[in-house]
C-alpha cells in the first residue's frame, strides 16, 4: 500500500547543497507536513507514495530556497532615491532625512511587502532584516509566507521609532515577545554599526544576546573612512573595539567586512563569526571589494546579502552569486576561487548557518523544512546546458525562477508566458504602495 503524502516534486536536476558538490538527475522530493520526507528516484517515488499533488519539473533544477543574509527590506521604497553618491553623503544628505520624514509602521509594512514580493519572485525564502518597527516588517513577511530574521535595531540617536539606545532595546525585546510563537519569524539584535553605537550599548546587547539566545547582526568595516574615523575617535579599528567588548562569537553576523587585515581575518575565523558579503552594494557605494577568497581560505562562514534596494538597487541573489564568484576570481587572480557550487552554498546553507537555522533550512535533506526554489533551464538563453549548477551562478537570472515553496506551500509561481503569481498579495496592492509613497519621497531625491 502506498503512503499518502502532500506533494512530490519531480525534477530534471536536484542540487541538495549537502552533500557538497552534488548534482542529482531525475529525482523526486517527497514532502509531508511541510518537511522533506524522502529524496529518491522517480520510479521509487511512484512505487512508494500517493501524492495529493505532483509538480513535474522536467526542465528545471530544484535548489534550496535562497537566504538573503543582509538587507533593509522596507528601504525598497527608496530604490533609486540617491544613486551615484558615496556612503556617508548618501546616508547623511538623503537617506537619513528621508527616513526622518516618512518612517512609520505603515511605511515599514508597505516597503517590506514590496521587498518580500521581489525576493520571493527571485527564489529567496528567508531574509535577515535590519530596520525599524519589526512588528510591521513581520506583518509583511507573514502575509507573503516568507521567513524573516528580524534585526532589532539599536542606535544612540532618536528616531520616530525610539528615543535612545535603551528605548530601542525595550521596543525590540517587546516585539520579540509578541512574535515568539510565529513559525516564520526569528530575531537578532541589530546594533547598527560601531560609528552609531556606544561601547556601553554594545556590552548591554552582548549580555542580552546570551540571555535571550539570539544572535547579533551589525555593519562592520564597510568603508576605509569608517576605520579611519574609529582610529581617530577610539584609538583603534572597529574590529578591535568589538573584540575588546567580547562581541565576537559564532552568533555574530557582520555585514560587508570589506576592509580586514590579516590579523582581523584570523580573529574572525578563530571566533566563528559569519560575514554577510554584499558585493553589489559594496561596488555601488564605492566601498571596495572584499577579498572573500582569502576569507574562505581561513574557514570563515560567508553568506550573501543584497543590502537594501536603496543601495543596490535590486534584491537579487542570482546577481549576488554571479558577482561574488567573478569578483573573487578577479581580485585574487585565481580562476578557481569561489566555484559555482561555493556561490550557491553562500546563498543557501552558509546563510542558514549564520542564522543558526542550518538544522531547518539551507539544504534539501530529509527532515528539513521544504523551502525550495525551482529554476527553469530550457529558455533559449540558457542553452546549451553542460552543468546546471554552473548555469545557476553564471547564466541564470531571477527571471528564470518558476516556483518557490516555503514549508512545502507554493508561495510564488510563474506560469508560462505570464506574470508571476503570489499566494500572499495581488499585483495591484504592490502598485498602490508605490503610488502612495513615491510622492512623499521625491523631495529627497539626488540630482
Q: What structural domains does the chain harbor?
A: 3-64+364-414 (2.30.40.10), 66-354 (3.20.20.140)
Q: What are the pLDDT digits (tens) for 292-329?
A: 999 999 999 999 999 999 999 999 999 999 999 999 99
Check pLDDT > 90 for residue 432.
Answer: yes
31 pLDDT band, cuts 50/70/90, is very high
Q: Starting at the edge strand that comes first in sequence, how are the strands of the sheet with 274-277 ordered?
A: 66-71, 124-131, 147-154, 185-191, 215-220, 252-256, 274-277, 301-304
Which residues are paired to 8 by β-bridges? 30, 54
Q: What is the pLDDT of residue 247?
A: 95
Q: How far apart are CA 393 and CA 65, in angstroms?
A: 15
In the chain, what are the helix, strand and coil shares in percent, each to the nearest 5? 40, 25, 35
Instruction: Report, as an integer, the average pLDDT of 363-390.
Output: 96
Percentage with pLDDT > 90 across the chain: 94
Q: How many CB atoms lie within 10 A of CB 416?
A: 6
Q: What are the pLDDT digits (tens) for 76-99?
A: 999 999 899 888 888 888 898 999
429 pLDDT band, cuts 50/70/90, is very high
Question: For the whole model, what pTM was predicted?
Answer: 0.97
380 pLDDT band, cuts 50/70/90, is very high
Instruction: Report, as an integer, the average pLDDT of 194-216.
Output: 97
Place of cell 526569528: 186
User: What is the average pLDDT value for the chain, to the nearest integer?
Assistant: 96
Q: What are the pLDDT digits (tens) for 122-149?
A: 999 999 999 999 999 999 999 999 999 9
Q: What are the pLDDT digits (tens) for 225-278?
A: 999 999 999 999 999 999 999 999 999 999 999 999 999 999 999 999 999 999
Q: What is the pLDDT of residue 89?
A: 87
Instruction: Output 327-331 pairs: Cβ under 8 A, ≥24 positions apart.
Output: 327/279, 327/289, 327/292, 328/291, 328/292, 328/293, 329/293, 331/289, 331/291, 331/293
Q: What are the pLDDT digits (tens) for 95-112?
A: 989 999 999 999 999 999
447 pLDDT band, cuts 50/70/90, is low
User: In this structure, what C-alpha cell is assigned to residue 138?
Assistant: 513581520
Q: What is the pLDDT of residue 446?
A: 67
> How many angstroms separate the Cα of 375 from the Cα of each of 241, 254, 346, 352, 401?
43, 30, 18, 20, 4
Q: Residues 90, 285: contact at Cβ < 8 Å?
A: yes
Amino acid at each position: 500500500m502506498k503512503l499518502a503524502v502532500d506533494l512530490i516534486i519531480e525534477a530534471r536536476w536536484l542540487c541538495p547543497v549537502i552533500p557538497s558538490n552534488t548534482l542529482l538527475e531525475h529525482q523526486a522530493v517527497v514532502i509531508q507536513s511541510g518537511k522533506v520526507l524522502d529524496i529518491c528516484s522517480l520510479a521509487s517515488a511512484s512505487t512508494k507514495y500517493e501524492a495529493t499533488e505532483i509538480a513535474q519539473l522536467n526542465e528545471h533544477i530544484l535548489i534550496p530556497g535562497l537566504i538573503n543574509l543582509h538587507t533593509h527590506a522596507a528601504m525598497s521604497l527608496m530604490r533609486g532615491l540617491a544613486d551615484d553618491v558615496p556612503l556617508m553623503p548618501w546616508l547623511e544628505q538623503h537617506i537619513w532625512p528621508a527616513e526622518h520624514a516618512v518612517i512609520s509602521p505603515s511605511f515599514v509594512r508597505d516597503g517590506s511587502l514590496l521587498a518580500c514580493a521581489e525576493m520571493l519572485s527571485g527564489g529567496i525564502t528567508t531574509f535577515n532584516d535590519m530596520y525599524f518597527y519589526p512588528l510591521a516588517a513581520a506583518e509583511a513577511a507573514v502575509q507573503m509566507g516568507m521567513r524573516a530574521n528580524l534585526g532589532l535595531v539599536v542606535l544612540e540617536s532618536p528616531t520616530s521609532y525610539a528615543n535612545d539606545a535603551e528605548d530601542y532595546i525595550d521596543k525590540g525585546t517587546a516585539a520579540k515577545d509578541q512574535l515568539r510563537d510565529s513559525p516564520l519569524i526569528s530575531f537578532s539584535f541589530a546594533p547598527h554599526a560601531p560609528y552609531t553605537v556606544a561601547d556601553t550599548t554594545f556590552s548591554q546587547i552582548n549580555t542580552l544576546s546570551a540571555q535571550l539566545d539570539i544572535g547579533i547582526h551589525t555593519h562592520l568595516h564597510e568603508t576605509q573612512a569608517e576605520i579611519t574615523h574609529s582610529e581617530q575617535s577610539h584609538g583603534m579599528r572597529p574590529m578591535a573595539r568589538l573584540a575588546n567588548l567580547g562581541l565576537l562569537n559564532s552568533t555574530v553576523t557582520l555585514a560587508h567586512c570589506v576592509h580586514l587585515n590579516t590579523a582581523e581575518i584570523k580573529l574572525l575565523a578563530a571566533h566563528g563569526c559569519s560575514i554577510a558579503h554584499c558585493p553589489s552594494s559594496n561596488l555601488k557605494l564605492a566601498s571596495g571589494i572584499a577579498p572573500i577568497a582569502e576569507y574562505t581560505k581561513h574557514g570563515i562562514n560567508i553568506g550573501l546579502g543584497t543590502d537594501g534596494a536603496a543601495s543596490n538597487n535590486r534584491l537579487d541573489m542570482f546577481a549576488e552569486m554571479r558577482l561574488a564568484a567573478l569578483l573573487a576570481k578577479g581580485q585574487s587572480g585565481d580562476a578557481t576561487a569561489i566555484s559555482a557550487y561555493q556561490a550557491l552554498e553562500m546563498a543557501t546553507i552558509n546563510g542558514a548557518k549564520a542564522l543558526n537555522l542550518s538544522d531547518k533550512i539551507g539544504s534539501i535533506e530529509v527532515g528539513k523544512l521544504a523551502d525550495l526554489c525551482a529554476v527553469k533551464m530550457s529558455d533559449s538563453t540558457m542553452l546549451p546546458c553542460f552543468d546546471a549548477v554552473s548555469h545557476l551562478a553564471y547564466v541564470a537570472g531571477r527571471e528564470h525562477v518558476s516556483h518557490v515553496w516555503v514549508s512545502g506551500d507554493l508561495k510564488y509561481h510563474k506560469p508560462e508566458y505570464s506574470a508571476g503569481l503570489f499566494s500572499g498579495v495581488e499585483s495591484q496592492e504592490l502598485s498602490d504602495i508605490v503610488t502612495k509613497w513615491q510622492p512623499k519621497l521625491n523631495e529627497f531625491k539626488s540630482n
